[in-house]
Chains A and B, each alone.
Chain A
Amino acid sequence: MATTDLRTGSLERHGLSDEQLRGMFRNMLLQRQLDNRGFQLNRQGKVPFALGSEGHEALQAGAAMAFHRGHDILAPYYRDLGLCLGIGLSPFEIMLSIFARADDHNGGRQFPNHYSSKAAGLMSFSSILAAHLPHAVGAAYAIKYRGETGRAVLATCGDGTTSEGEWHESMNFAAVHKLPFVMLVENNEWAISTPLDKQMAQPEIWKRAAGYGMPGRRFNGFDPIQTYAAVKEAMDRAHAGEGPTLVEGTCYRYLAHSTDDNDLTYRTREVVQERRKDDPVPAFEALLLEHGIVTADGVAAMRQDVLRETNEATDAAEALPYPEPADLYKHVYEGAWEPWQS
């Protein structure tokens, strides 16, 4: 039951309505639920691989809220489940990808979590870190080239990716051409087993912005509202033709990199446990309850609904067929796949 008993002034909501705040929270719940479902299915032997994003929920829900559907373009990486949901992908599309079904956007070709949706403005990407960033810059160039104001590219990556040469080349080009491009770094402190201090000599990625000649800022990626504010500000600048921005959201990667990783080989349970106290999902729930934006019953109902949606999506996707063997030969080129032509 929605409440009108809002303690105004004690919550900086940056113009977000109750409904929007609840929408962000639901996105976070859905992300966590789907994330867990992937791991569950893997443990059940139903899917060979799953990749987690626990810890990123606030960052991704907040960023998604700043994304203009039908206008902006998203160039994410493989840990952006929540961001993809937030810009309009359905749980069903997510599950199709996890189950590698023929009806998946990628026809079951790509790893799970490598979403793609031309309709949603979600650029196809690979597993190769930073390879998508020059693509994002190229897309931003195309937008500017056609004079399409009000459109921008939101590109994301992790802390590890910022070490890649292509991260650097993309940032530099975007700055030279003042492109409508926002580089959102989701700094979760780990690149598989590489901690931040082995990845870079100074831990504040946003500080590199000045070197490129673009603005940069850092925000608390565990806070979806702050995230929204920071990403919105950057996207607004891009929409208005004022050029690119580097925004860095700090969060944490609670799980291992993927189902093929065992993080106990390189960090202790205690260290992770210690960071769990900042877990953005219970934290935002508590905040919304405190300010009467949700009730306990409302949250419970939301959770049920998210579970229902997840179950429906799982069942629906699981029931669908894999791609056919003959599908292997499709879409190599527009025409024939054979290298020898007659």
Chain B
Amino acid sequence: MAIKPEAQSKLPSSFERHGLTDEQLIAIFRTMLMQRTLENRGFQLNRQGKIPFASASEGHEAVQAGAAMAFERGKDILVPYYRDLGLALGIGVTPYEVLLSLFARAADHSAGRQFPHHYASRRLGLHTISSIIAAQLPHAVGAAFALQYRGEAGRAVLTTFGDGATSEGEWHESVNFAAVHKLPIVFLCENNEWAISTPLARQMGQPDVYKRAEGYGLPGAPVDGMDPIACYEAVDEAMQRARSGGGPSLVEAKCYRFLSHTTDDDDRTYRSPDEVKARRKDDPVPCFERLLAEHGVLNAEQAEALKRSVLEETNDATDRAEAMAYPDAADLYEKVYAEGCEPWIV
């Protein structure tokens, strides 16, 4: 959407935008809004009994939109986890594709096989997502190895995971290997402090994931995961390092999971609503909206227009996806192998 020229010329440089233009800042905000709107739509559809399941990512909007801005489409590879709705949107997955996944339609990337939010897009460089925590990390490292092996400078892998994933053996093995081989990969931890019901103090002996980097011999740094510009800056720096042969990095974005894990979880059974309420003051979506308004990047009217446009796009995607067909029963037998599926050869 167009920005009036006067708004741009009034722009103070009193907030650190790390080279991002107005257009980019607004794009980040739009991604954040879209993430929140689509996520809410998933929960709505579940409550309406239209879909069996939806998962949550409220609280992750800033880190995901910021990180997505640092991703170079057509070059980089993304190996995310199942909470990365915003990151997927930010690198080019459309709301329609998201809704196809929620509705498990035949036209979905996994042809309705996978859980919602388990996207794949070869075209966008988005690896097929697994539900298994940390299983994606060795894959990401292997992909980075392939890039290095073929001498493809200017390309890097961005892989993401939560705090819980860092306890997995495969997290350790992946980071170690990437460090030994100085691979073009960025490990981005979206530390939202909860692994379903397991709080950080039960997950690890000290709460700063980035502090493990030194032991592996790669650089590690924390970033405010509620600040999309800071996240952009941190991920951009790390991705540039990776693309130019400088090796891997560990970036830890500190954010928070405002909702339950998924529609099948009830966070009231293990944490107090007061804690969640207190953390809402850091909600990245209204915070960023305020920042943009304060600095004349996006005024209230423009923000409303943006929200309306996001809602329209969401409604349109919902209607179109809902109207599509489920996969046929016979599709169950497709794509087991390159050809055929029977284990007995006649």
User: Do the two chains touch directly in the complex (Cβ atoms below 8 Å apart)?
Assistant: yes
Query: Which among A164, A197, A200, A212 is the interface contact of B204 at CB below 8 angstroms?
Result: A212
Query: Bound complex: CA of A226 vs CA of B182, how far in Å?
Result: 35
Q: Which residues of the other chain, B, contact A292 by a CB distance below 8 angstroms?
A: none
Q: List 27 A-B contacts (CB under 8 A).
A: A163-B173, A164-B172, A164-B173, A165-B168, A165-B171, A165-B172, A165-B173, A169-B172, A172-B204, A176-B201, A176-B204, A197-B180, A200-B176, A200-B179, A200-B180, A200-B217, A201-B180, A201-B182, A201-B216, A201-B217, A202-B216, A205-B215, A207-B215, A208-B212, A210-B211, A210-B214, A211-B211
Q: Does B268 contact A (CB under 8 A)?
A: no
Q: Does A199 contact B (CB under 8 A)?
A: yes
Q: Is the CB of A214 within 8 A of B173?
A: no
A156-200: CB near B (< 8 Å → 1, else 0) gives 000000011111110010011000000000000000000001111
Q: B169 interface residue, CB < 8 Å from A? A: yes
Instruction: Judge whether B203 and A169 touch: CB under 8 Å.
Output: no
Q: Are B215's CB and A168's CB within 8 A?
A: no
| A213 is an interface residue with CB less than 8 A from chain B | yes
Interface string of A222-254 (1 = CB under 8 A from B): 000000000000000000000000000000000
A165 and B217 within 8 A (CB): no
Query: Which residues of A have CB within 8 Å of B167?
Result: 168-169, 172
| Distance in angstroms between the alpha carbons of A193 and B285 in the assembled complex | 53
Least CB separation from B201: chain A residue: A176
The chain B residues found within 8 Å of chain A, CB to CB, are 167-173, 176, 179-180, 182, 201-206, 211-218
Given A163-B176, A200-B180, A211:B170 Cβ within 8 A:
no
Q: A201 and B218: CB pair below 8 A? A: yes
- For the A-B complex, the count of residue pairs with Cβ-Cβ distances under 8 Å equals 80
B212:A211 contact, CB within 8 angstroms: yes
Interface size class of A (residues with CB under 8 A): 20 to 34
How far apart are the CA atoms of A208 and B182 in the complex, in Å? 18
Specify which chain A residues have a CB less than 8 angstroms from the CB of B216 in the assembled complex: 200-202, 208
For residue B207, give the distance in angstroms from its CB to the closest CB of chain A.
8
Residue with the greatest number of chain B CB neighbours at <10 A, chosen from A163, A168, A176, A200: A168
**How far in angstroms is the closest Cβ of chain A from B250?**
10
Main secondary structure of the interface of B (DSSP, over half): helix
Which residues of chain A come closer than 8 Å to B172, judged between CB atoms?
163-165, 167-169
B170 touches which of A165, A172, A199 (Cβ 8 Å): A165
Question: How far apart are A141's CB and chain B's nearest CB, in angstroms?
Answer: 14
A173→B201 CA distance, assembly (Å):
11
Judge whether A211 and B169 touch: CB under 8 Å. no
Give the shortest distance, in Å, between A59 (CB) and chain B (any CB).
21
Which of the residues A163, A202, A213 comes within 8 Å of B206, measured between beta carbons? A213
Which residues of B are found within 8 Å of A163, using beta-carbon distances? 172-173, 176
Asked if residues A207 and B169 are in contact (CB atoms below 8 Å), the reply is: no
B217 touches A202 (CB 8 A): yes
Q: Chain A residues near B176 (CB, 8 Å)?
A: 163, 200-201
**A175 near B218 (CB under 8 angstroms)?**
no
Q: Which residues of A contact B217 (CB under 8 A)?
A: 200-202
Chain B residues with Cβ below 8 Å from A200 are 176, 179-180, 216-217
B202 neighbours in A (Cβ, 8 Å): 176
With contacts A163-B173, A172-B167, A211-B215 known, what are 16 further pairs, Cβ within 8 A?
Answer: A165-B171, A165-B172, A168-B169, A169-B168, A169-B172, A172-B204, A176-B203, A176-B205, A200-B180, A201-B176, A201-B218, A208-B215, A210-B206, A211-B212, A212-B205, A214-B205
Q: CA of A201 to CA of B218 in the docked complex: distance in angstroms?
A: 8
Q: How far is the CA of A175 from the CA of B168 in the complex (A)?
A: 15
Contact pick for B205, options A169, A197, A213, CB 8 Å? A213
Q: Is the CB of A175 within 8 A of B214?
A: no
From A164, A172, A209, A213, name the one whose CB has the most chain B CB atoms within 10 angstroms. Answer: A172
**Residues on the A chain within 8 Å of B215, using CB:** 202, 205, 207-211
The answer to whether A207 touches B214, judged by C-beta atoms less than 8 angstroms apart, is yes
- Shortest Cβ distance from A302 into chain B, in angstroms? 41
Q: Give the complex CA separation of A198 and B182 in angstroms.
A: 11
> B248 CB to closest chain A CB, in angstroms?
9
**Contact yes or no, A201 B205, CB < 8 A:** no
4 closest Cβ contacts across the A-B interface? A165-B169, A175-B205, A213-B205, A213-B206
Pick from B169, B182, B203: contact of A164, CB below 8 A. Answer: B169
